[in-house]
């Protein structure tokens, strides 16, 4: 057992392979790119909104369709059911996530320059946690918007959970949430980290043999 | 190795991006094409052919009534009612100016055709003015507005109107707004619940002339009365309105008036009201006998209906009454037989200000889950009801009771069809729905939003109307057309139900100022009053020279002596804001004061003949 552990530690102490460093660098580029691209799209489609009302969630901003007008329209419609107006200022995540992405990019660059395999493990674990937490927080936001409805609103509807991924009917609207390019870039970053780790471990084993 | 991995990462990313890019969001509906050729054939009225039905649209805040033909949906003419209309010279001559009074606009909401024995008799069309509390009568003999009654005393916001009784005894109207009564009295808004009142009015219609007078009124709490209908058959002698704001709030109604789960409908026994007035049980207010329902039992009852309803419609049999709460996805169907019984047995749920509240459970037949935002219901006379769904942008068809046990258990099963409309339907109309004998062939959906359906005309948008064939087992969309703002309700009348005149027969012209020969025409002066008797005939005015002095009061009586269809003359006076249009055989009078010296040409504004351009004259004003 001890032998296995020490073997693992020997591997974790090994430097990141050259190919791994290349992959990490690619991943970091994708991560930074992802931070500038929309992460998630929420769209609402009804007969009279055939072209759909859309909200694109970025790491740092909300961009509403129709030159920003869709957010005002969504909030106007939501006031009938007593939903709190959606406002970018309320999304603390949009301040935290850009900072976190900077941290991950720096940690990644450290691994590229002077990294050991252990750094890749740290990077992967932290990023996985960050990703899961962010998704969970996004889902919690949606839950809150759908559940904290003003009882004095003109229309009384059952509290509801807006769908996080996929589509569902809410009154006369079909609400759809889908991940966009930014999320795929983030995913690709994680993939790069994993592949860099896998490749480095393979090479470390070969060297140690 | 690295290259392979890089390729793999980039490949997966591209695939993911491609998979999500360019997708239409789910829910986007592609317009149903249907059988275009067959729909086109159904609405095609060949050049020279005529439509089968008249469609009388209310023109909303344009103040007018639009006339279209069905099934072509072509706009044929506009009947000016509450607003001046230079096209027909309405609002320029003395008679129409006097009818318009001090107002230059009105808000036409719900046209109602006159009836005899519960069927359209083709005599008159009544329309209400929500803004200035008036009601007008259009004579269908010549499609002209013949009377404007109002502002109706003790009433504010004549919205719950114009509901014609079975034999046009009355046009029944109710107030949307409540104010301190009699009008002109001030009370602080904080005293809304106690000092403000609404009113239900019986506008009496003379059976021969159609002349309207305010017959009687029933005082109500300050609920906002909305759409209604009159009874027939078992409900003969009764009328119904829904209200919103039974909370009696006066601020931010969108929130405050939508708190209760139910609002009250008014169940009015108008024959009892008529009798109560005859029996001297009313007190006079502003010249009208007003009944206090707390003191005169049997005239008014309240019935709880779903939250914030927007109408209550009696079916052709007179037994079933459908009311929809726009904030609840159901249409409530009440049985008038049960209402009668509940009233007889005093099955009440307390009272509101001395007015008994009928026990809801005792009279409800069922709540049909029609869909989101139900507003108004129309009937085809074949046992089907059609409810407009504002939020859902659709029309639901469902069958009226009696329902079997299985249907009663699940009222979803009585809904037989639903058709999308574009977009946000308000009113809908089926010809004769409010009579004992609906035509049951077409339904016109009057939609509030037309966005994206027509060639763009900038930010001011027309409204869209859609023609739906309801004769088959499924509703089919046939056609759509646009109107200026803003049709609320409409009426459909079979074309052969009326035979309008196209010239005013000379023999009928009793105007003492009419002149029929050039030799009788001329200018007479009495002090500073100048009176002109003028003949208009192809292609001249006689006289074509009017000489006056600054300060003279000028009266021109112009007679169009033509007796030929479509030979219409207009008299437009340059820089005098004057354009009177005179139909064949008609005499019209205009009055104005000569305020400026100069020579002002006048000319025929309505094209009449080859020498129309030459039809002119001069108003010479000496300093």
| Residue in B13, B308, B422 closest to A47 by CB | B422
pTM, two decimal places:
0.90
The encoded tokens of residue B438 equal 């609906």
**How is chain B split into domains, by residue range?**
152-311+330-368, 506-622
Averaged over B541-554, what is the pLDDT? 98
pLDDT of residue B307: 80
User: In this complex, which of B1, B26, B254 lies closest to A45 when CB atoms are compared?
Assistant: B26
Contacts A–B by Cβ distance under 8 A = 98
Instruction: Count other Cβ atoms within 10 Å, centred on residue B61.
Output: 19
Confidence class for position B20, pLDDT limits 50, 70, 90: low
Closest residue to B28, CB basis, from A18, A52, A185: A52
Answer whether B575's CB lies under 8 Å from B600's CB.
yes
The pLDDT tens digits of the residues spanning B372-394 come to 999 999 999 999 999 999 999 99
CB within 8 Å: B258 and A155: yes
Q: Which 3 state secondary structure label does DSSP give B167?
A: coil
Q: How far apart are CA B171 and CA B408, in angstroms?
A: 36
Whether B13 sits inside 8 A of A30 (CB atoms) is: yes
Q: Does B333 score more than 50 pLDDT?
A: yes
CB B579 within 8 Å of CB B89: yes
Is B5 part of the contact surface with chain A (CB cutoff 8 Å)? Answer: yes
pLDDT of residue B485: 92
Question: What's the pLDDT score for residue B32?
Answer: 52
pLDDT confidence of residue B256: 74
Is a pLDDT exceeding 60 seen at residue B587?
Answer: yes
- Averaged pLDDT of chain B: 94
C-alpha to C-alpha distance for A196 and A117, rounded to whole angstroms? 9
Nearest CA in chain B to A53: B25
- Given a cut of 60, whether residue B520 has pLDDT beyond it is yes
Please list every residue in chain B whose beta carbon sits closer than 8 Å to the beta carbon of residue A198. none
User: Which member of B6, B25, B391 has the closest CB to residue A45?
Assistant: B25
> Which residues on adjacent β-strands are paired with residue B216?
B202
Q: Which of B540, B581, B585 is nearest to B561 (CA)?
A: B585
Is A52 in contact with B258 (Cβ distance < 8 A)?
A: no
In which band, very low, low, confident or very high, does the pLDDT at B326 lie, cut at 50, 70 and 90?
confident
Distance between CA atoms of residues B469 and B535, nearest Å: 49
Compute the nearest-CA separation of B392 from chain A (Å).
Answer: 5
How far, in Å, CA of B97 to CA of A131, rounded?
Answer: 74
Helix (H/G/I), strand (E/B), else coil: B253: helix
Q: Which fold has domain A2-208?
A: Butyryl-CoA Dehydrogenase, subunit A; domain 3 (1.20.140)
> Per-residue pLDDT averaged across B600-622, rounded?
96
DSSP 8-state secondary structure symbol assigned to residue B108: B
Q: Could you tell me which residues are beta bridge partners of residue B607?
A: none
Partners of B1 on chain A (C-beta within 8 Å) are 19, 199
**Two tokens at B416?**
């037989």
CB-based contact (8 Å) between B7 and chain A? no
Q: How far is B16 from chain A (nearest CA, A)?
A: 7
pLDDT tens for residues B7-17? 665 566 555 55
B196–chain A nearest CA distance, Å: 24
Residue B304 has pLDDT above 90, yes or no: yes
Three-state DSSP at B419 gives: strand
Q: Whole-angstrom Cα distance, residue B123 to residue B493?
A: 11
pLDDT per position as a tens digit, B225-262: 999 999 999 999 999 999 999 899 988 877 777 776 78
Q: What is the pLDDT of residue B99?
A: 97
Do residue A172 and residue B449 have CB atoms under 8 angstroms apart? no
pLDDT of B22 reads 46
Which of A40, A53, A82, A184 should be substituted to probe chain B, the one whose Cβ sees the most B Cβ atoms within 10 Å?
A: A184
Task: Write the residue in A26, A45, A179 that is nearest to B27 by C-beta.
Answer: A45
Answer yes or no: are the C-beta atoms of B308 and B244 closer than 8 Å. yes
Q: Using a CB-CB distance cutoff of 8 angstroms, which residues of chain B are in contact with residue A45?
A: 25-28
**Contact (CB<8Å) B258/A23:** no
Res B26: pLDDT: 60
pLDDT for B462-509, tens place per residue? 999 999 999 999 999 999 999 999 999 999 999 999 999 999 999 999
| Closest chain B residue by Cα to residue A40 | B20
Give CA–CA dist B359/B361, Å, rounded: 6
Is residue B393 less than 8 Å (CB to CB) from chain A? yes
| pLDDT tens column, A111-162 | 999 989 999 999 999 999 999 999 999 999 999 999 999 988 888 888 999 9
Q: Average pLDDT, stretch B605-612?
A: 94
What parts of chain A have a pLDDT lower than 50? Answer: none
- What does the pLDDT read at residue B181? 96
Burial class (CB within 10 angstroms; exposed 0-12, middle 13-18, buried 19+) of A182: buried
How would CATH label the architecture of B152-311+330-368? 7 Propeller (2.130)
Return the CATH class of domain B506-622. Answer: mainly beta
- For residue B500, report the phi and psi dihedrals to the nearest 5 degrees: -65, 150
How many other CB atoms are there within 10 angstroms of residue A4's CB atom?
A: 8
**Where do the domains of chain A lie?**
2-208
Contact call for residues B364 and B342 (beta carbons, < 8 A): no
B18 CB within 8 Å of a chain A CB: no
CA distance B111 to B446: 14
CB contact under 8 A, A199 and B5: yes
Residues of A near B (Cβ–Cβ under 8 Å) read: 18-19, 22-23, 26-27, 30, 43, 45-48, 50-52, 54, 152-156, 167, 169, 171-174, 176, 178-181, 184-185, 187-188, 191-192, 195, 199
**Confidence class for position B439, pLDDT limits 50, 70, 90:** very high
- Checking if the pLDDT of B298 tops 50, the result is yes
Q: Are A30 and A192 in contact (CB under 8 A)?
A: yes
Search chain B and give the residue with CA nearest A177: B25
Inter-chain touch B20–A171, beta carbons under 8 Å: no
Q: Which residue of A has its CA nearest to B328?
A: A155
């Amino acid at each position: 057992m001890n032998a296995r552990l020490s073997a693992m530690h020997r591997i974790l102490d090994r430097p990141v392979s050259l190919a791994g460093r290349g992959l990490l660098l690619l991943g970091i580029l994708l991560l930074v790119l992802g931070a500038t691209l929309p992460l998630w799209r929420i769209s609402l489609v009804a007969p009279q909104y055939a072209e759909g009302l859309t909200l694109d969630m970025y790491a740092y901003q909300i961009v509403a369709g129709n030159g920003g007008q869709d957010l005002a329209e969504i909030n106007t419609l939501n006031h009938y059911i007593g939903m709190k107006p959606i406002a970018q200022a309320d999304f603390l995540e949009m301040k935290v996530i850009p900072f976190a992405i900077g941290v991950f990019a720096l940690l990644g660059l450290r691994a590229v320059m002077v990294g050991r395999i252990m750094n890749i493990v740290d990077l992967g674990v932290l990023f996985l946690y960050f990703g899961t937490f962010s998704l969970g927080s996004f889902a919690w936001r949606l839950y809150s918007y759908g559940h904290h409805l003003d009882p004095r609103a003109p229309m009384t509807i059952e509290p509801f959970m807006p769908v996080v991924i996929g589509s569902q009917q809410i009154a006369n609207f079909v609400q759809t949430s889908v991940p966009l390019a930014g999320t795929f870039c983030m995913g690709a970053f994680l993939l790069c980290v994993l592949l860099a780790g896998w490749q480095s471990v393979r090479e470390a084993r070969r060297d140690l043999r | 190795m690295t290259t392979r991995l890089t390729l793999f990462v980039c490949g997966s990313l591209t695939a993911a991006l491609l998979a999500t890019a360019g997708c239409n969001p789910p829910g986007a509906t592609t317009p149903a094409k249907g059988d275009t050729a067959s729909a086109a054939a159904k609405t095609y009225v060949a050049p020279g052919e005529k439509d089968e039905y008249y469609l009388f649209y209310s023109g909303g805040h344009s103040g007018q009534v639009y006339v279209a033909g069905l099934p072509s949906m072509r706009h044929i003419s506009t009947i000016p009612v509450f607003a001046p209309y230079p096209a027909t010279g309405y609002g320029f001559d003395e008679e129409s100016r006097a009818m318009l009074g001090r107002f230059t606009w009105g808000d036409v909401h719900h046209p109602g055709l006159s009836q005899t024995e519960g069927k359209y008799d083709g005599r008159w069309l009544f329309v209400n003015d929500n803004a200035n509390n008036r009601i007008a009568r259009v004579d269908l003999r010549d499609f002209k507005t013949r009377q404007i009654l109002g502002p109706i005393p003790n009433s504010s916001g004549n919205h719950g109107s114009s509901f014609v009784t079975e034999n046009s005894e009355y046009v029944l109207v109710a107030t949307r707004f409540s104010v301190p009564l009699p009008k002109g009295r001030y009370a602080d808004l904080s005293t809304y619940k106690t000092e403000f009142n609404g009113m239900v009015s019986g506008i009496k219609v003379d059976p021969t002339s159609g002349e309207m007078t305010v017959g009687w009124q029933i005082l109500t709490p300050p609920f906002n009365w909305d759409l209604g209908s009159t009874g027939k058959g078992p409900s003969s002698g009764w009328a119904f309105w829904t209200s919103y704001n039974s909370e009696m709030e006066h601020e931010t109604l969108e929130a405050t008036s939508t708190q209760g789960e139910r609002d009250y409908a008014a169940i009015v026994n108008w024959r009892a009201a008529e009798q109560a007035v005859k029996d001297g049980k009313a007190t006079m207010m502003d010249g009208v006998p007003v009944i206090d329902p707390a003191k005169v039992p049997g005239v008014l009852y309240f019935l709880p209906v779903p939250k914030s309803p927007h109408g209550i419609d009696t079916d052709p049999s007179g037994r079933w009454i459908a009311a929809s709460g726009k904030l609840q996805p159901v249409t409530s169907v009440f049985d008038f037989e049960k209402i009668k019984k509940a009233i007889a047995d005093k099955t009440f749920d307390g009272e509101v200000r001395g007015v008994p509240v009928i026990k809801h459970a005792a009279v409800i037949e069922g709540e049909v889950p029609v869909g989101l935002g139900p507003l108004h219901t129309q009937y085809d006379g074949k046992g089907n009801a059609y409810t407009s769904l504002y939020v859902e942008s659709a029309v639901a068809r469902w069958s009226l009771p009696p329902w079997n046990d299985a249907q009663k258990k699940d009222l979803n099963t009585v809904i037989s069809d639903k058709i999308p409309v574009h977009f946000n339907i308000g009113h809908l109309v089926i010809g004769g729905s409010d009579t004992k004998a609906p035509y049951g062939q077409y339904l016109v959906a009057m939609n509030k939003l037309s966005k994206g359906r027509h060639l763009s005309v900038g930010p001011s948008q027309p409204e869209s109307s859609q023609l739906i064939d309801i004769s088959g087992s499924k509703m089919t969309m046939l056609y759509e057309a646009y109107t200026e703002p803003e049709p609320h309700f409409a009426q459909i009348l079979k074309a052969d139900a009326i035979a309008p005149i196209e010239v005013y027969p000379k023999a009928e012209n009793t105007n003492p100022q009419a002149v029929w020969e050039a030799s009788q025409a001329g200018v007479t002066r009495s002090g500073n009053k100048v009176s002109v008797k003028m003949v208009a005939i192809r292609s001249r005015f006689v006289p074509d020279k009017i000489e006056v002095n600054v300060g003279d009061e000028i009266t021109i009586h112009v007679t169009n002596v033509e007796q030929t269809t479509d030979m219409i003359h207009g008299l437009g006076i340059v820089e005098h804001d004057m354009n009177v249009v005179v139909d064949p055989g008609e005499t019209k009078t205009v009055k104005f004061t000569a305020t400026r010296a100069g020579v002002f040409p006048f000319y025929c504004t309505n094209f009449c003949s080859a020498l129309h351009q030459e039809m002119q004259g001069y108003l010479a004003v000496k300093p």
